[in-house]
C-alpha cells in the first residue's frame, strides 16, 4: 500500500479562525509517478489480467478522473509516438503473443467497441462508408433476457485472427470516436468508450471451453461546469457526463455498503447506460482495476481529492471471481463420434488379427490410403486424425508410405507404391529421429509461406504506408496531463519574426521557414528512426531465416544419407558409430530449429510494429501539411492587407 497526501491551505476568505481541513491522506495499491513510461503502466496494470482471461477469468480496467488528467492517454495512448501506445494496443499485442506461446490450445478472439455519448450507445466498429457525426453510427440498445444476462443489440462483434486485424479495427474505432474542445483540454473525449476483447480458449482434445472478456474503459472527464466555462453543445455534453458519473458513484457507494455488511439489497445499475453496461464489471464475476488519473496542480486540488475518494470507495468493493467454463455440445458430439469410430476400427483390427486376413492389397487400397494420408498432412488442425482402416496390412503400408515421404519425394498421385516400399529397412533407424524429420519437414513447408508474406513487407519502400478504408486525420488523446508535468515548446507569433513577402509567395521557402520556427517535428523524426531500426532488424532476421533454412536442409540431407549408409554396413562397430553420428546430427537439427523458430517469432512481432509506425508516420505527414496549409493561408491573407 502506498499513500498520497494533498495539502490545501486554509482560505483566508473565511477568516483567520476556521475549521477547514488542510491535509488529506489516501492509501492505494500502487502509485504511478507522472514520468512513468507506458510499458511500465501496462506491466503493472494489465499483463496479469490478460493472462487470467486466457484461463476464463473476466477483467476490467477503467480510468477515472477530471478532463485533461490523462485518461485517454493511459487507455488508448498518444496519437504521435509509437512509444506512447496505451493499454489497448499493448493488450492486443500481448494477447496474441501469449496465444502463440500456447500451441496446444485453440483460441478465438473477438473485438467490440462501444461509445456512450449523451446517454446513447453507438457502435464504433460499424462498417459504414462514411461517418461525419456520431449519430451516423448504429444505435446500440441494452437488453436483458429472462435469465438476467445483458445483450447489446446492434453492437457488432468482429472476429480477428491476428494482431494486425485487431489494430486496424482499433484505428477505425478511434476515427469514429467523438471528441470536442474544452478550455481544459483541446482534444477532450466527450464520451465514455468501452473496448472489449472477447476471448475463447479450448485445449486440443478437450470439450471444456473457457470464455472471458477484457473491458478497457475510458470514461469521459469529470469536472465542474463552472470551471470549464463552456456553453452550448459542450455544456449539454458535460451535463450528461456528470449525470452518468453521478449514477456510477451511486452504484459504487451501494456496492461498498453491501460489502461492509450494511444489508444494502438494491444496486441502481439501471439508472444510466454506463452503469448498466458495467454491471458485470462492478461487484460481479470480474477482476477490476481502477486507474485514478489526477492533475498535481494547486488549482485542481478539489477535483483530485474527489477522485481519490472515489477510488477508495471502489477499492472497498468485493468481487467474486470464478473461471467461465462450459461444455461445448458440438465439440463433445464430435469427440464422441470419433471415439465410436475408433472403437469400431479397433474391433475390426482385432477380428482381422484373429481370423487372419488373406490376399494381397489391391491398387485401390493404396490409392485410398494415399488420399487419406494426403488429406491428413494437409489439415492444419491439431485435432486431425488419420483413418487407415481396421486392417494391420493397411497400417503397415501407411507407416511405410510415411517413411518414403520423408526419405524421398512423394510418388505421383494415385500411383501404387513399389514393392520394396512396404518392406521394413534392413537397419533400424531410431523412431524419434524419424519423427523429428517428419516434424521438421512439415514445419518448414508450412512456414515458408509465412516467410514469403513477411518478406514482402521488408521490400516495401520506407515511405510507403499502410492505407485503411478511412481517413485517420483526427487527433485524439487526453494529452493535457503531460503538459502539467513536462514543459513543452510554446509557439507564439509575437516572439517570431514576421516572414518576408518573398518567403510567403514561394511555397517551398515558406514551408522551410515554417518548419524552422513553428513546427515541432521531434515525434515524426522519432517514429522514422524507430521504423528504420525495425527495418534493419527485420532484414537481419530475414537473412538469418534464409541461412537457417539452408542449414536445416543440409543437415536433413546428411542425416538421410548416413541413415541409408548405416543400413548397408553389417559390422557392429560401424553400426554404433553410425548411430552416434545420427544422434549428433539430430541434436544439431534441433538446435538450428530452435534458432529458426525464435527468429520467425521475432519477425512476426515486428510486422505489426512496422505497420503501426508506418501509419503514425502517414498521419504525422498529413497533419503536418494540414497545419502548414492553414498557417500559409493566414500569412497570405495578412500580406494582402
Task: State pLDDT tens for residues 117-151.
Answer: 888 899 999 876 565 677 778 899 988 888 778 88
Q: Which residue has the higher pLDDT, 54 or 640?
A: 54
71 labeled part of a ligand binding site: yes
Same-domain pairing of 470 and 365: no
Backbone angles phi, psi at 395, to 5 degrees: -65, -45
Which range among 250-254, 558-562, 624-628 shows the weakest confidence by mean pLDDT? 558-562
Same-domain pairing of 148 and 267: yes
**Contact 384/376 with Cβ under 8 angstroms?**
yes
Q: 555: domain range? A: 455-486+494-640
Q: Note the pLDDT tens digit of each residue in 29-53.
A: 888 888 889 999 999 999 999 999 9
**Would 248 be classed as within a structural domain?**
yes
Q: For residue 389, name the pLDDT band (cuts at 50, 70, 90).
A: low
Same-domain pairing of 102 and 189: yes
Which range among 22-26, 275-279, 342-346 shows the weakest confidence by mean pLDDT? 342-346
Which residues are CB-contacts of 211 (< 8 A; sequence separation ≥ 6)? Answer: 56, 198, 199, 200, 324, 326
72 labeled part of a ligand binding site: yes
**Would 445 be classed as within a structural domain?**
no
Same-domain pairing of 612 and 559: yes
Q: Which residue has the higher pLDDT, 467 or 497?
A: 497
* Whether pLDDT at 171 is above 80: yes
Q: Kindly tell me the burial class for residue 254, based on how many C-beta atoms sit within 10 Å of its own C-beta (0-12, 13-18, 19 or more).
A: buried
C-alpha separations of 501 from 369, 505, 626 in Å? 84, 6, 21
**What pTM value is reported for the model?**
0.65
Q: Where are the alpha helices (DSSP H) in 217-300?
A: 225-228, 232-259, 273-277
Same-domain pairing of 72 and 151: yes
67 labeled part of a ligand binding site: yes
- Say which CATH number the domain at 635 has: 1.20.1270
Same-domain pairing of 166 and 40: yes
Same-domain pairing of 409 and 277: no
Q: Kindly tell me the burial class for residue 237, based on how many C-beta atoms sit within 10 Å of its own C-beta (0-12, 13-18, 19 or more).
A: buried
**Residue 72 CB: number of other CB atoms within 10 A?**
31
**Would 276 be classed as within a structural domain?**
yes
* Whether pLDDT at 61 is above 50: yes
- Return d(Cα 27, Cα 77) in angstroms, integer: 27
Largest CA distance in the chain: 113
Q: For residue 493, name the pLDDT band (cuts at 50, 70, 90).
A: very low
- Say which CATH number the domain at 152 has: 3.40.850.10
- Return d(Cα 631, Cα 513) in angstroms, integer: 11
**What per-residue confidence (pLDDT) applies to 214?**
94
Top-confidence range, 292-296, 344-348, 408-412: 292-296
Q: Which residue has the higher pLDDT, 231 or 283?
A: 283
Same-domain pairing of 262 and 376: no
> How confident is the prediction for the chain on average, in pLDDT?
75
* Whether pLDDT at 180 is above 50: no
How many degrees, rounded to 5, is the angle at CA 530 between CA 524 and CA 533? 145
- Return d(Cα 420, Cα 405) in angstroms, integer: 14
69 labeled part of a ligand binding site: yes
Q: Of 292, 316, 340, which one is at a domain's C-terminal end?
A: 316
* Whether pLDDT at 595 is above 50: yes
- % of the chain residues with pLDDT over 90: 14
Q: Identify the helix (H) or strand (E) that includes residue 181.
A: strand 179-182
**Would 440 be classed as within a structural domain?**
no
| Tally of structural domains, the chain | 3
Which residues are CB-contacts of 8 (< 8 A; sequence separation ≥ 6)? Answer: 20, 21, 22, 23, 24, 301, 302, 305
- Return d(Cα 141, Cα 200) in angstroms, integer: 24
Q: Which residue has the higher pLDDT, 79 or 325?
A: 325
Same-domain pairing of 251 and 220: yes
Q: How far out from the chain centre does Cα 19 lie?
A: 52
Backbone angles phi, psi at 530, to 5 degrees: -65, -40
**What per-residue confidence (pLDDT) applies to 584?**
82
Backbone angles phi, psi at 327, to 5 degrees: -90, 130
Which residues are CB-contacts of 191 (< 8 A; sequence separation ≥ 6)? Answer: 115, 116, 117, 118, 134, 177, 178, 220, 237
**Would 354 be classed as within a structural domain?**
yes
Q: Which residue has the higher pLDDT, 300 or 495?
A: 300
Same-domain pairing of 131 and 166: yes
**Would 227 be classed as within a structural domain?**
yes
Same-domain pairing of 522 and 552: yes
**What per-residue confidence (pLDDT) applies to 423?**
40
Q: How many residues does the chain have?
A: 641
507-517 helix and 572-640 helix, angle to the nearest 10 degrees = 110
Which range among 47-56, 249-258, 391-400, 426-435 shows the weakest confidence by mean pLDDT? 426-435
**What per-residue confidence (pLDDT) applies to 297?**
78
Same-domain pairing of 173 and 279: yes
Amino acid at each position: 500500500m502506498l499513500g498520497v497526501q494533498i495539502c490545501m491551505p486554509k482560505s483566508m476568505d473565511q477568516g483567520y479562525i476556521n475549521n477547514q481541513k488542510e491535509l488529506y491522506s489516501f492509501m492505494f495499491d500502487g502509485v504511478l509517478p507522472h514520468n512513468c513510461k507506458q510499458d511500465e503502466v501496462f506491466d503493472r496494470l494489465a499483463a496479469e489480467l490478460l493472462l487470467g482471461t486466457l484461463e476464463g477469468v473476466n477483467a476490467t480496467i477503467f480510468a477515472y478522473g477530471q478532463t485533461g488528467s490523462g485518461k485517454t492517454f493511459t487507455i488508448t495512448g498518444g496519437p504521435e509516438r509509437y512509444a506512447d501506445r496505451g493499454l489497448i494496443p499493448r493488450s492486443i499485442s500481448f494477447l496474441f503473443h501469449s496465444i502463440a506461446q500456447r500451441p496446444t490450445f485453440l483460441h478465438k478472439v473477438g473485438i467490440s467497441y462501444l461509445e456512450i455519448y449523451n446517454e446513447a450507445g453507438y457502435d464504433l466498429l460499424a462498417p459504414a462508408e462514411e461517418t461525419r457525426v456520431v449519430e451516423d453510427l448504429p444505435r446500440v440498445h441494452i437488453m436483458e433476457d429472462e435469465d438476467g444476462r445483458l445483450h447489446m443489440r446492434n453492437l457488432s462483434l468482429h472476429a480477428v485472427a491476428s494482431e494486425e486485424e485487431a489494430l486496424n479495427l482499433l484505428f477505425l474505432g478511434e476515427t469514429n470516436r467523438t471528441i470536442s474542445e474544452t478550455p481544459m483540454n483541446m482534444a477532450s473525449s466527450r464520451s465514455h468508450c468501452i473496448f472489449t476483447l472477447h476471448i475463447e480458449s479450448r485445449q486440443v482434445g478437450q470439450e471444456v471451453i473457457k470464455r472471458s472478456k477484457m473491458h478497457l474503459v475510458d470514461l469521459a472527464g469529470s469536472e465542474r461546469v463552472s470551471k470549464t466555462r463552456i456553453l452550448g453543445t459542450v455544456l449539454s455534453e458535460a451535463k450528461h457526463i456528470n449525470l452518468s458519473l453521478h449514477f456510477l458513484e451511486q452504484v459504487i457507494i451501494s456496492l461498498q455498503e453491501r460489502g461492509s455488511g450494511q444489508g444494502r439489497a438494491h444496486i441502481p445499475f439501471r439508472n444510466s447506460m454506463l452503469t448498466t453496461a458495467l454491471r458485470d464489471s462492478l461487484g460481479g464475476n470480474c477482476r477490476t482495476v481502477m486507474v485514478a488519473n489526477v492533475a498535481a496542480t494547486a488549482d485542481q486540488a478539489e477535483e483530485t481529492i474527489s477522485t481519490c475518494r472515489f477510488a477508495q470507495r471502489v477499492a472497498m468493493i468485493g468481487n467474486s471471481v470464478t473461471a467461465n467454463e462450459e461444455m461445448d455440445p458440438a465439440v463433445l458430439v464430435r469427440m464422441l463420434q470419433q471415439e465410436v469410430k475408433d472403437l469400431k476400427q479397433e474391433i475390426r483390427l482385432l477380428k482381422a488379427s484373429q481370423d487372419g486376413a488373406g490376399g494381397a492389397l489391391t491398387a485401390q487400397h493404396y490409392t485410398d490410403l494415399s488420399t487419406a494420408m494426403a488429406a491428413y498432412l494437409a489439415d492444419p488442425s491439431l485435432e486431425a486424425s488419420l483413418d487407415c482402416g481396421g486392417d494391420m496390412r493397411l497400417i503397415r503400408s501407411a507407416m511405410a508410405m510415411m517413411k518414403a515421404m520423408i526419405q524421398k519425394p512423394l510418388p505421383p498421385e494415385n500411383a501404387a507404391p513399389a514393392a520394396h516400399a512396404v518392406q521394413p529397412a534392413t537397419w533400424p533407424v531410431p523412431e524419434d529421429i524419424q519423427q523429428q524429420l517428419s516434424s521438421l519437414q512439415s514445419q518448414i513447408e508450412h512456414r515458408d509461406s509465412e516467410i514469403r508474406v513477411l518478406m514482402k513487407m521488408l521490400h516495401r519502400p520506407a515511405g510507403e504506408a499502410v492505407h485503411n478504408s478511412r481517413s485517420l486525420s483526427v487527433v485524439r488523446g487526453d494529452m493535457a496531463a503531460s503538459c502539467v508535468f513536462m514543459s513543452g515548446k510554446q509557439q507564439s507569433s509575437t516572439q517570431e519574426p514576421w516572414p518576408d513577402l518573398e518567403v510567403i509567395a514561394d511555397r517551398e521557402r515558406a514551408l522551410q521557414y515554417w518548419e524552422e520556427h513553428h513546427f515541432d517535428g521531434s515525434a515524426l523524426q522519432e517514429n522514422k528512426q524507430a521504423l528504420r531500426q525495425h527495418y534493419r532488424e527485420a532484414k537481419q532476421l530475414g537473412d538469418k531465416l534464409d541461412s537457417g533454412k539452408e542449414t536445416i536442409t543440409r543437415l536433413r540431407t546428411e542425416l538421410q544419407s548416413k541413415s541409408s549408409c548405416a543400413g548397408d554396413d553389417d559390422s557392429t562397430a560401424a553400426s554404433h558409430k553410425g548411430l552416434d553420428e545420427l544422434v549428433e546430427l539430430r541434436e544439431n537439427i534441433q538446435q538450428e530449429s530452435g534458432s529458426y523458430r525464435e527468429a520467425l517469432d521475432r519477425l512476426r512481432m515486428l510486422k505489426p510494429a512496422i505497420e503501426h509506425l508506418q501509419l503514425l508516420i502517414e498521419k504525422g505527414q498529413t497533419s503536418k501539411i494540414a497545419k502548414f496549409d492553414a498557417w500559409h493561408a493566414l500569412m497570405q491573407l495578412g500580406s494582402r492587407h
